[in-house]
Amino acid sequence: MQRMHLHLVSDSTGETLEMIAKAALAQFDNPDVVRHFWPMVRSRQHLDRIVPSLAASPGLVLFTLVNPETRARLEEHCRQLGLPAVPVLDAVTAALEVQLGEEAHGKPGRQHLMDDAYFRRVEAIHYTIAHDDGVGWEDWEEADILLAGVSRSSKTPTSIYLANRGYKVANIPLIMESPPPPALFGLRRPLVVGLTTAPERLVQVRRNRLLSLNEGTETSYVDSEKVREEVQFARRMFADNGWPVIDVTRRSIEETAAAVMRIMQERTDRPGEGGEDGEGAI
């Protein structure tokens, strides 16, 4: 397979550009790609400094530059070097201009402005970190979402991902020998979601966790029958309380979070109908 150089040129942090490139590359089988990342390119001088690198490692150039002069100069350099250059947001921005009936502002990094949404996201992250693993149950009513599940069912990473999307998330491990606080069953504001997984997969994840900590694996924590009982215990609790359930066995953290957000949106669209998925796993 031929190696390809991919240049990502952005006038902001480049986070959006990286996500687009990652999503597009995921459609190919193990492409041999060398990424060159050029963030915060906002001046002619800065752009001119990266041109030698474009010439030394010719390849595809993806860019998000809103300044017309900087953008035109990059496109001219690419023409001279014979490099394809793709403005990845142009089609979307143009479509939005038509639908919204106004022109885009053309200011770099507007999605990173420290507006109300930014501060809500920061607050959500602080809340989520402080309410991990059953801690701070007295404040659970302040949460947007509460994730419940047995140990190693991806509650914490999913919580952090959701927090970065602006949701206050608490999570609690369900332990057969230690009942959860009664507050869990009386929550009114938060959406409570149960996370479940295949016992066989859970044993594997737990075993790997113990090995990474240099701990022995001769424990009930990874006993197949004991784990199966834990999962059944959790699923009964989900069903008894009508909580929606998500099976994370074959889901990435992003996919699990997307499923949670979908349930959250459905709850918002149809208030009073939360928990309708409690009879089966998503």
Query: Is 155 annotated as contributing to ligand binding?
Result: yes
Digitized pLDDT (tens) for each residue of the chain, 282 residues in all: 689 999 999 998 888 889 899 889 989 988 999 999 999 998 999 999 999 999 999 999 999 998 889 999 999 999 999 999 999 988 887 888 888 887 766 665 554 455 667 778 889 999 999 999 999 999 999 999 999 999 999 999 999 999 988 999 999 999 999 999 999 999 999 999 999 999 999 999 999 999 998 888 889 999 999 999 999 999 999 999 999 999 999 999 999 999 999 999 988 877 555 443 444 567
pLDDT value of position 228: 97
pLDDT value of position 272: 52
CA-based nearest residue to 159, from 187, 186, 136, 185: 136
pLDDT value of position 175: 96
pLDDT value of position 118: 72
pLDDT value of position 108: 59
Query: Is 212 annotated as contributing to ligand binding?
Result: no
pLDDT value of position 89: 85
Query: Is 151 annotated as contributing to ligand binding?
Result: yes
Maximum CA extent, the chain? 70
Query: Is 153 annotated as contributing to ligand binding?
Result: yes
- The single-letter code of the amino acid at 89 is L
Residue 280 region, left (φ>0) first, then alpha (ψ -120 to 50), else beta?
beta
Cα–Cα separations (whole angstroms), residue 162 to 11, 56, 258: 27, 41, 9
Query: Is 82 annotated as contributing to ligand binding?
Result: no
Task: Say how many CA atoms lie within 13 Å of 169 toward its Cβ.
Answer: 26
Query: Is 226 annotated as contributing to ligand binding?
Result: no
Query: Is 256 annotated as contributing to ligand binding?
Result: no
CA-based nearest residue to 209, from 142, 254, 153: 153
pTM score above 0.85: no
The superfamily (CATH) of domain 4-112 is AF0625-like (3.40.50.10700)
- Alpha helices for the chain (secondary structure H): 15-25, 44-56, 68-81, 90-100, 116-130, 155-163, 199-212, 224-241, 253-269
Q: Is the dihedral of CA 208, 27, 87, 58 positive or negative?
A: positive
Looking at domain 116-269, its CATH class is alpha beta
Query: Is 156 annotated as contributing to ligand binding?
Result: yes
Tokens of 267: 């709850």
What's the CA gap between 194 and 260, in Å, rounded?
10
pLDDT value of position 105: 65
What's the CA gap between 140 and 138, in Å, rounded?
6
